[in-house]
Amino acid sequence: MIEHKIAGVLEKLFVEEEFVDCFLVEIKESQDGRKLEVFIEADTTLTLGRCQRISRRIEKEIEENRWMPEAYLLEVSSPGVGNPLVLKRQYVKNIGRMIEIVMTDGESKKGKLTEVIEEGVTVVEAAHGKAKKKVEEKIYTINFDQIKTAKIKVSF
């Protein structure tokens, strides 16, 4: 499977100094095998230039080893803010941001991601109430195995 081959290429690449803070999130191959999408993240800033250099390294391996048809499309990018978080490292990177979590039981929690621990995350839900009434914020600790989807919410 090409996903495993590309993951192996990235594993070797991500030990190099320039890319040591990068990590693989997901690889998607089209049904016809002509398009490959590689989603990566970094603990620091993931620039367009870094994505381009990673893409060139992947292309080199694909072409030297003939892993894909001659005419193929390779896209290397970050998953984007609207995509669900899938790795613990993504949660850590987003501490301090607003998050919406849909739990496996269907319940939804929205609030500020304040902490990531080994087994899960802590979310602080903003206090809601009438103007003169003091309402305390709610703090939730949610285990990773209870999370169905988690997305960062962008506020403008």
What domains are there in the chain, each with its CATH number? 2-77 (3.30.300.20), 88-153 (2.30.30.100)
pTM for the full model?
0.79
Q: Is the distance from CB of 10 to CB of 24 less than 8 angstroms?
A: yes
- Residue 156 has a pLDDT of 65
Closest CA to 99 of 121, 80, 129, 117: 121
pLDDT tens digits in sequence order for the chain, 156 residues long: 899 999 999 999 999 999 999 999 999 999 999 999 999 999 988 999 999 999 999 999 999 999 998 899 999 999 887 899 999 999 999 999 999 999 999 999 999 999 999 999 999 997 666 655 666 789 999 999 999 999 999 876
Q: Is the distance from CB of 58 to CB of 2 less than 8 angstroms?
A: no
